[in-house]
Structure 1
Amino acid sequence: MSAKGPLVWIGEAREKKILEICGEHMKKVVDTVTGLKNTLEGFLEKDRKKQGAGFKAVFNAERAADELKRKILEELSVGIFHPIHRDEIIRLTMTADEVAANAKAAARKCGMMDPEKIPPKLGEILKKFADELVSAAEAMQKSFLSLTKDRREAIELSHEVEKYEEMVDDLRADELMPELMKWYKRVKDIGLSLLLKELTDNMENVADFCEDVSDIIRVIAVSHA
C-alpha cells in the first residue's frame, strides 16, 4: 500500500484551496490552546498582564477559527464533492472547532476566580495539565499536515495525540482530582468550586476533542491511502 498522501482524492484547485483553509483553521485552533496555557499561567502567577494577553490571544484565535470554519463550509456548499469526502471535511472542521471553543471557555473562567484561593500544589498540577493540552493540540496539527504528504506519519502522529489524551486522563485521575477534593473541603466556596470544576472539564474536553480529531484523521489516512 502506498505511503503517499491520502488526500489525492480531494482533487485540484478548489479542493486544494479547502485543504489550505483547513490548515489555517487547525493552526488557529492550536493557537487557542497555547493561549489558554498562557492565560492559566498568568492567572496562577498573579500576573494580570500575562493573563490578559493570553486571553486576548485565545479570543482572537477562536474568532479567526470560527471565520475560517464558515469559509470552509461555504466552499463545500458551492463545489462538487463526493458526499463522503464532504462529510469527512465537515466532521474534521466541526470537531476541531470544539477544541477552540473549550479552550476559550476555560480561559474565560480564569478571569472569574481569585488566584489567591488556589493553593500552589493545585496550581502546579493545572499548569502540567495545560502543557499536555498544548502537546496534544500540536500533535493533532502535525497529523493533519502529514495527511497530504505521508499517511504513515499521519497515522503515527494521530496515535501520539491518543497518548497525550491518556496522559491527561491519568493526570486528572491520579493528581488533579485528589487535590481538588481536598481543596473543595477546605475552601467551602460552592461558586468557586463549581467554576474550577467547569474549567477543568473544559480542559479535559480540549484533550478529548483533540483525540476525536485524530480519529477522523486516521480514518481518512486509512480509507484513502
Structure 2
Amino acid sequence: MSLNSIFQYFVPKDKKFFPLFEQAGANLIEMAKLLQESVRTNDLELRRENNRKLEDLEHVGDGITHQIHLELGKNFITPFDREDIHSLASSLDDVADFIQGASNRIELYKVEKPTEPMKDLTDLILEAAEHVAKALFELRDLKNIRNITDSCVRINSVENKADYIFDKAVADLFEYETDAISLIKQKEVLSAMENATDKCEDVANVLESILVKNA
C-alpha cells in the first residue's frame, strides 16, 4: 500500500471539501442557465432581473470559495493536495466571475440584441458547467476516474468549440461591423463569454492533476 493510500484510509469519509465543491458546481450551472436565458430573451426587464440574480449567485460562489479556504486552514489532513484544493477553488471562482461579467457587460453596454455567436457561446458555457459539476461530484471518492477523465475531455472539447466561435465572430465583426462602438461592445461581451469556457478548462486541468497524483 502506497503512502498516499495510507493517508487516504485515515481521512474521514464525511469530508467537508467535497460538498463545498459540489455546491460550487451546482452554482455554476444555475449561473450558466440564467446567462443563457438572458441572451435568448427580448424581455429587457427579465434580462436585468437575471443580471441581479447572477450578481447574487456570484457572491454565493465567493462565499463557497471563502469557506473552502477556511477549511484548508482548519484541517491538517485533506483529501488531496492542499495546493490542488486551492487551485480548484480559485478556478471555479474564476468561472463564476466571467459568467457574471458577461451578463454585466450586456447590461452596462446596453446590448439589446445579443448575436448568434453570443447565444452559441452561452450554450457552450452551460455545457461546460454541467461537465464541471459532474466531475466534481465524481471527485468525492476518486473511484470513478474514467468518468472524471471523460468530463475533462468534454470540457476541453467545448473550450475548443468556443475558441472557434469567438475567433470567427470577431473576424466577422472586423469585416462587417461599421459602427466602431458597437464592435467594441460586442467584442467585450464575446471575450467574457469565451474566457468563461477558458476557466472551465482550467478547472479540468486541476482535476487532471488531482487524478495523476492520486492514481
TM-score by length of 1: 0.83
Q: In the alignment, does 2:181 pair up with 1:182?
A: no
84 and 35 in structure 1: CA distance in 2 versus 1, 3 angstrom threshold: same
CA shift at 1:161, angstroms?
0.3
90 and 107 in structure 1: CA distance in 2 versus 1, 3 angstrom threshold: same
Q: Which runs of 5+ in 2 are unaligned?
A: 1-6
CA shift at 1:114, angstroms?
3.7
Q: Which amino acid aligns with 1:63?
A: H
Q: 1:154 aligns with which of 125, 148, 157?
A: 148
Determine the C-alpha separation between the residues in 2 that align with 1:10 and 1:128: 46
Residues 32 and 59 in structure 1, CA contact (< 8 A), matched pair in contact too: no
Q: State the SS of the aligned residue for 2:40.
A: helix
Report the number of matched residues: 207
Q: State the SS of the aligned residue for 1:80.
A: coil
Which is richer in helix? 1
Aligned to 2:137: 145
CA shift at 1:207, angstroms?
0.5
Give the alignment of 1:72-221 within 5 angstroms: 72-81=68-77, 85-115=81-111, 118=113, 123-148=115-140, 149-174=143-168, 176-184=169-177, 186-189=178-181, 192-221=182-211
TM-score by length of 2: 0.86
Determine the C-alpha separation between the residues in 2 that align with 1:145 and 1:103: 21
Q: What is the CA deviation profile of residues 38-83 of structure 1, one whole-angstrom value per residue up to 9, with x for unaligned ones?
A: 22223xx2x1132123212311211111111111111110110369
Cα RMSD over matched residues? Answer: 2.3
Determine the C-alpha separation between the residues in 2 that align with 1:90 and 1:9: 22
**Aligned-residue identity in percent:** 21
Determine the C-alpha separation between the residues in 2 that align with 1:32 and 1:57: 8
